[in-house]
Structure 1
Amino acid sequence: MTTPHFETLQVHAGARPDPATGARQVPIYQTTAYVFRDADHAAALFNLQEVGYIYSRLTNPTVAALQERMAALEGGVGAVCCSSGHGAQIMALFPLMGPGKNVVASTRLYGGTVTQFSQTIKRFGWSAKFVDFDDTDAVEAAIDENTRAVFCESIANPGGYITDLDAISAISNKAGVPLIVDNTTATPYLCRPIEHGATLVVHSMTKYLTGNGTVTGGVVVDSGNFDWSASDKFPSLSAPEPAYHGLKFHETFGPMAFTFHGIAIGLRDLGMTLNPQAAHYTLMGIETLSLRMDRHVENAVKVANWLEADPRVDYVTYAGLPSSPYFDRVARICPKGASSLFTFALKGGYEACVKLIESVEIFSHVANLGDTRSLIIHSASTTHRQLSPEQQRAAGAAPEVVRLSIGIEHADDLIADLDQALAKAVA
């Protein structure tokens, strides 16, 4: 049988009838530990000589089903789930970085990621260089002998800007460092970063993948395509590991080296574990991902076009608009659409943005995106509040800008809600 289509994989990948009961839906294995067959079985598991379940901080059958599904949808060889999207970013960097090492990151990132990279990772002795990824010469120039990763978002939060992944992966490959792509806003239905040269793909599964705003979760998907032993830059994966009697992850596990390291070292020591109930909710959400994303995109196109034509609006950043400088990238990077996250600027400035948010009735004012419900937020005063004014503008979160996450309601109702709120905002 040929490889199933995306719509089939989103329902079936990782899900098999439960061998004990025949249950068709993946059960929630709400357990901490697992009984070993005997002492030899236990020793083989702890030595990484056999794959199985030891303790739910490391492995759990419900979470394993989700990991298999995410790897299948992204076209990777394996995946490691963890407790949040922010956790996934640290998990992705953890085997690569070290004191004095840096990551070259896009300026167009979620505000929490900018803060994590510019402030928090300093505590590990890591650093980040922020570069405009539309300037590929600047990206290439920023990579030095201490760079251990390049990081961007496929569709950037909050502005919906689309990264030229082909150009960026060519630069990272030339430098011999992995490209990490946050694919949260696009989802694997709209964009498959591995097909454009990404080494690792991270997600906040909290967003479109789960789709219903009930749980938090993150995942790192490994392409299996990077040669971790090609240089001495990545000793965690290529050199002997003292905690496993000198085992070399890349030599032993080949394309699965990063995935095994993420579980055996990352989850073991960082403990960013995804709980099985959250994994269950996410598995159920993914079953309808393609259906929801088609509606998200359809609605976003209608709302963005209406906003762009409204005289009360200064500009709209949606990449699905022909006026967007990123419009030509949609067909190549996100052939099924530019997702449903974008911003628009009000001519009334900061105060008008605040009044608009206070006046909507269908849109929910929350710090989330990718819900079935339409969401609105003023990024400069919330998600990007910790950034300097210069950083806010670079990230697409200027004071006069409002971010929308368009849901799956009827587009006419969303437009009517924005219309009445805009009338109050600019009165």
Structure 2
Amino acid sequence: MPEITFTIILFYSFPEAMVLVLLSLSLLGIRPGFRKILLIGGIQALFDVLLFLVVGKLIAIPFGVHTVAQIAAMAMIIRRVMRFPYQDSCLAVLFGFSIYLCIETLMYPAMIFIIKDFVPSVVSPDNWWQRLPMFIMQLMITLLVAFLIYRFNIRFMSGWKRKTGNSLFLLASLMLVQSILMLWLGLQYYIDDKNHANFGIPIHFSFVLMNTAIPVITLMVIKQCMEFIRNEVETQAQLDNLRHIEELLNTMRVQRHNFTHELQVIYGLLEVQAFQEARDYLKKSVNEVAATSELVRTDNLGVTALLHTKAGLAEARSIDLHITVKTSLRQLPLEVRDVNLILGNLIDNAMEAVAQLPVPERKVEVMIGQDLRGFVVEVNNSGSPISPEVSAKIFMPGFSTKGEGRGMGLYSVQTLVHKYNGDIQAESDGNGTSFRVVIPG
């Protein structure tokens, strides 16, 4: 039998790659330009030529392994061309290939029922033209699916890593393996049995029903898992808000008590004509008022209340908390609840990081400002530096070095920052750790 040729691979791989790119990016809610689709499809087709004509001659590629290699290559190509994070592009391609393989599996019984002498097989120089009608129909159906996903704004992949971490990767891989097995079993089912053309409607219908039900059930399970994790994050956010409110009430009670006590002290000093002592005492109170006026610059009562609460907690824990507000937050495109969740978690983590240090070294700095990119929040602490291994995992849900039941704070912060198309970065060295959040204005 003659070997598969460059022309045949290019003829099938090039349009197939373009359609798969369109389908995968549709799952991200993105409609790329035709030039980028053409570029990605061309590079992917050249990779397929290399895979089958070069690697395929050196080693025998098992069924399904070539698909995994194509997925990895396409994810890398999309990342380079579209400048997406590799995780996003890889996950989108995983689901895109899974859907495409499901469509291919369902096409075999349909083509055999329509064309009685149709021979389901892989592409080869002897029968490539026999598979052409099915190939064209498969591309058309895939294009229709991509159009419907984009038309009805079905952003199945939107925000996956903020809600599920690596869990969705496992589910996507499971669905891909399932799709490959379905395709392989379908091919064996029809190729091995020479009487497949005489199966009749009931057997065809049963096969189509089975191959349709399995991926649908898998997608339903994935959706339920995503909903469960989303609800867990929202519940944690509500608990954090309740904790902030409780802290604010306690701080207000303490401040009211202290204010009454200070008035009594000042009145007593004036009664005994200790004017210098009264002046020194008032100077301290004025400095505290000045610090309060710094917080008022936010022009956001909710944020100001939170910062007051954290300042009270820092004072109670003997932590030097310095807050600098350089801009008004009136135009900040975040709800007060979301702003406080971000600030509260970052400040809490910073105070925990310095809690074990000697009192003079317990320093936390908070800066709220604005630059050309948008609103900026920086939280710095003088605690021990974070190792690179831990730094790579700090935003993962459930990861914590402080024991079980922790690890949702920074994950919630990252979720909210990405919700508003922002960015969060962490840096750590011998001088401490810094978190920088940028939210487009």
Q: TM-score range by the shorter chain?
A: under 0.3
Q: Hey, which of these two has a bigger chunk of strand by percent? A: 1
Bigger RCO of structures 1 and 2 (CA < 8 A, at least 6 apart):
1
Larger Rg: 2
Q: Hey, which of these two has a bigger chunk of helix by percent? A: 2
Q: Under a length normalisation based on structure 2, what TM-score does the superposition of the two structures give?
A: 0.23
